[in-house]
Structure 1
């Protein structure tokens, strides 16, 4: 794979990741993820 192809694949991956993040935020999933993170910290790890 040439250097240009590697760069193109990396840029494409970055764009796909950005689109998926924007899609998740627009659906309101940030609150769900934050709540899951809090539950992991409080229940599994034992913080709090």
Structure 2
């Protein structure tokens, strides 16, 4: 029972942090950085 409660609380906390980051526009920044890293690894950029 205690394990499920801790898991649920952590899941809610993680969802809150993700929502906060998306509201600040961090999603676009992360996507831009991921694209740059991928292009550098392939050697295109």
| TM-score (structure 2 length as normaliser) | 0.89
**Count of residues paired in the alignment:** 44
Pairing 1:17–2:14 present? yes
- Give the corresponding residue for 1:32: 29
- Structure with bigger RCO (C-alpha 8 Å, 6+ apart): 2
Runs of 4+ in 1 over 2 A off after TM superposition: none
Q: Which sections of structure 2, spanning at least 5 residues, go unmatched? A: none
Q: Which sections of structure 1, spanning at least 5 residues, go unmatched? A: none
